[in-house]
Chains A and B, each alone.
Chain A
Amino acid sequence: MHKESEIRDPLILGNKTYHDISRDISRPVEGKANKYWWILFSLSAALMLWGFACMAYTIGTGIGAWGLNKTVNWAWDITNFVWWIGIGHAGTLISAVLLLFRQKWRMSINRSAEAMTIFGVAQAALFPLIHMGRPWLAYYVFPIPNQFGSLWVNFNSPLLWDVFAISTYFSVSVVFWYIGLIPDFAMIRDRMSSKVAPMKKQLYSLLSFGWSGKAKHWQRFEEVSLVLAGLATPLVFSVHSIVSMDFATSVIPGWHTTIFPPYFVLGALFSGFAMVETLLIIMRKVVSLESYITIKHIEYMNVIILLTGSLVGTAYITELFMSWYSGVEFEQYAFLNRATGPYWWAYAIMMTCNVLTPQLYWIGAIRKSFVWTFVLSIFVNIGMWFERFVIIVTSLHRDYLPSAWTMFSPSFIDIGIFLGTIGFFFTLFLLYSRTFPVIAQAELKTILKSSGSEYKNKK
């Protein structure tokens, strides 16, 4: 049995029994969607369709439909790609790293955080795909034997590392998620009556793979989860390190820095936790899970945001210091131009949202408030998008020849595709919240006695 110090606050509120947990978590699946769900779903689906139309237009006419030019030849596409990949990282951190550290508070939030990872990485993967211009030739990025005279991929290239890293990350995340989902699907299956909802019952029978909860199966389940967590932990750090190497191995001033891998990983965790908070603060209300996703969970996440936000701030200042200390004019100009050049406003947004706002979490009242957390999480989401924009666009728009210096302005297609991925992401998440067990109920039941409020009071 788990033993936990009595001074720790309960993680499950309201006097719940095992059966209550099953009931509360099946409720969104068994019941009908409320008005708010339909409003949010319609809005997201409309945005998604608009995004798809913009993608179709891009594929039909070519990348010229975007605001790119000869100088700024990488802009919103890669900004959005890195932003979405970064968002995905918090899910793996919560489900894998916190499992290795035996943090019990992860159990109420890991399922949704992993869903966010999978849906976020799917959005990210769209950008390189459409940037190819001819997405039906996407198989060129894999080392497949072909008839083009041994036309192989280049294993020295960080772009190919990215292909391997993101495919592995996506597929391993899906598997990790699904292994945990099997017992929870089985719970939903067993609650359903084949007379009332025969189709649903059949669907959940199919999804639950015939799980019955035998002692040997649970023993294997626990070991498989532990090993997958052990594999996913270095994987998640490798993925964003490799994403950062897309920039760091180039010779563009402002990109060519060795600080990039840790700086990108921290930024990814920072933005990912902000997105988890944005989603969960809405979800706990929409599907009535206030007893399971408590202010304690939000506070723990805010502490991680405070930590990673401060480290990201340190990285910004380190970059500035190193560019001055390097004595390289190009490097110095790149950073001076970021802060005071024509894109100073993007730099100011980045600095305010990522460095200053998380510092508010030193104040207990803000750290323990749903409203404040929600507002600040939006700030962080915006700030982290601008971080990527600053790194990418401001480094490129002043290149080696002053005659080539220019500005970037997004076309409506650029904006449409970005909004489309936000719509697509929320559409997937809303569908998930109505069809999946949104909390890992089997795992949660193991901590009811050590962290449930009723059991805590009894002691």
Chain B
Amino acid sequence: MSSKTTIYGIFDDEEILLSSVKEIRAKEIEIKEVYSPFPVHGLDKALGLKETRMAITAFIYGCIGISLAALMIYNIMIVDWPQNIGGKPNFSFYHNVPSFVPILFECTVLFAAHLMSITYLIRCGLYPGGKSDSPDVRTTDDKFLMEIEIEGDVSSVKDILKQTGASEINEKQA
């Protein structure tokens, strides 16, 4: 029998939550998760979350987009079927690239935006029909929930939560 207990501290206000998170982490108690109805500024730093790399993925996807677009245009316009349009023959990519810029740009944006969004959904485990694992439905409305998993003595953690301003404390035996 494991004696793991999950404690849910519910807060009414994001500023109280933020100071509580800081105090609890200062006491070296591990916070498992925080659920909130909107992004709370500074919460990621207070929880010690690493910086997200979503922007880097967008850059990489954008590079892939522009490369594939250049490859496509090169193959179609220069290699497969070069034409002389308006006295401007398509014999080299370099000389014709100015008129390819709009599509190179659009493809960069297309790839960066879509692939980043898909990466975001996958990394967050979001998909049509997915189930929310929030322990309390009020966390999408106006409550902030802190989840702490602890072995052994529960009361000390509960006391800290109460002292730091939690409006409601629940627990669940694992």
Residues of A within 8 A of B (CB): 1-2, 17-19, 22, 143, 150, 152-156, 158, 160-161, 164-165, 167-168, 171-172, 175-176, 179, 182-183, 186-187, 189-191, 205-224, 226-228, 231-232, 234-235, 238, 242, 245, 442-443, 445-446
Q: Which of chain B's residues has its CB closest to A175's CB?
A: B117
Known: A152-B77, A208-B132. A442 touches B121 (CB 8 A): no
- Top-10 shortest CB links A-B: A210-B130, A18-B142, A212-B134, A209-B126, A190-B137, A218-B39, A161-B102, A164-B106, A212-B132, A442-B38
> Bound state CA distance, A328 and B138, in angstroms?
70
Q: List 13 A-B contacts (CB under 8 A).
A: A19-B142, A155-B99, A164-B107, A189-B140, A206-B129, A210-B131, A214-B124, A215-B36, A218-B40, A231-B58, A242-B102, A445-B37, A446-B41
Chain B positions within 8 Å of A245 at CB level = 102
Q: Is the CB of A182 within 8 A of B126?
A: yes
Residues of B within 8 A of A (CB): 15, 33-44, 47, 49, 52, 54-55, 58, 72-73, 76-77, 80-81, 83, 85-86, 88, 90, 96, 99-100, 102-103, 105-107, 109-110, 112-114, 116-117, 120-121, 123-134, 137-142
User: What 7 additional pairs, Cβ within 8 angstroms, besides A19-B142, A152-B80, A231-B113?
Assistant: A1-B42, A155-B77, A158-B102, A168-B106, A206-B128, A213-B139, A215-B49
> Bound state CA distance, A171 and B112, in angstroms?
12
Chain A positions within 8 Å of B112 at CB level = 227, 231
The distance from the CB of A117 to the nearest CB of chain B, in whole angstroms, is: 14
> Bound state CA distance, A22 and B99, in angstroms?
49
Name the contact of A172 in the complex, choosing from B15, B99, B110 (C-beta under 8 A): B110
Majority-rule SS of A interface residues: helix
Q: Is the CB of B100 within 8 A of A155?
A: yes
> Bound state CA distance, A221 and B117, in angstroms?
10
Known: A212-B35, A442-B38. A234 touches B139 (CB 8 A): no
> Bound state CA distance, A168 and B109, in angstroms?
8
Q: Which of chain A's residues has its CB closest to B127's CB?
A: A209
Name the contact of A22 in the complex, choosing from B55, B96, B100, B142 (C-beta under 8 A): B142
Q: Is the CB of A156 within 8 A of B85?
A: yes
Q: Is the CB of B102 within 8 A of A210?
A: no
> Bound state CA distance, A217 and B39, in angstroms?
9
Chain A positions within 8 Å of B58 at CB level = 227, 231
> Bound state CA distance, A156 and B99, in angstroms?
5
Chain A positions within 8 Å of B90 at CB level = 156
Name the contact of A222 in the complex, choosing from B39, B85, B133 (C-beta under 8 A): B39
Chain A positions within 8 Å of B42 at CB level = 1
Q: Is the CB of A223 within 8 A of B54?
A: yes
The distance from the CB of B52 to the nearest CB of chain A, in whole angstroms, is: 5
> Bound state CA distance, A75 and B78, in angstroms?
35
Chain B positions within 8 Å of A234 at CB level = 105, 109
Chain B positions within 8 Å of A182 at CB level = 126
Chain A positions within 8 Å of B125 at CB level = 210
The distance from the CB of A83 to the nearest CB of chain B, in whole angstroms, is: 22
